[in-house]
């Protein structure tokens, strides 16, 4: 998806997401897990493992991957694909940090419920 066709939403302060940690944003398109990976980059993916829907925001981050807390499936935070030998993938959401604020890019009109997105909150 081209960035100019996205709706950008401010979701919280850059320092709200700890290194190797995650926060959750409720969006009209579903739950999005926002991570800070081992390189310090902020990344966002759907918050449901492709295997059984486990909350990826509660998984362990190592480098640029997260492991599902239910069954240990590893997912790339860069492209959303499962790490071999596992199969599957999750949707990756573009993020950018501007002036110390994290912005999440969402496809316009792709709504599951009313509203665009909530502020970033700690994963349970």
All residues at 6 or more sequence positions from 18 whose CB lies less than 8 Å from its CB, including other chains? 36
4-8, 23-27, 38-42: range with lowest mean pLDDT: 4-8
Residue with more model confidence, 56 or 118: 56
Structurally, what CATH architecture does the domain formed by 3-122 represent? 3-layer Sandwich (2.102)
In the predicted structure, residue 118 carries a pLDDT above the cut 70: no
Average pLDDT score over residue span 76-88:
96
**How far apart are the C-alpha atoms of 98 and 38, rounded to whole Å?**
20
Which residue in the block uniquely carries the two structure tokens 């486990």?
Answer: 54
CA atoms of 72 and 92, how far apart (whole Å): 19
Task: Please report which confidence band the pLDDT of residue 26 belongs to, taking 50, 70 and 90 as the band edges.
Answer: very high
Domain boundaries, the chain: 3-122
pTM: 0.85
């Amino acid at each position: 998806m081209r960035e100019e066709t996205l709706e950008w939403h401010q979701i919280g302060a850059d320092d709200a997401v700890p290194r190797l940690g995650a926060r959750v944003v409720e969006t009209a398109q579903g739950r999005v897990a926002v991570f800070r990976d081992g390189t310090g980059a902020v990344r966002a993916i759907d918050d449901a493992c492709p295997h059984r829907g486990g909350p990826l925001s509660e998984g362990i981050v190592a480098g640029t991957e997260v492991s599902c807390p239910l069954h240990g499936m590893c997912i790339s935070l860069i492209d959303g694909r499962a790490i071999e030998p596992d199969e599957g993938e999750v949707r990756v959401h573009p993020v950018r940090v501007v002036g110390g604020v994290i912005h999440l890019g969402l496809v316009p009109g792709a709504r599951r419920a009313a509203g665009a997105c909530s502020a970033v909150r700690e994963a349970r």
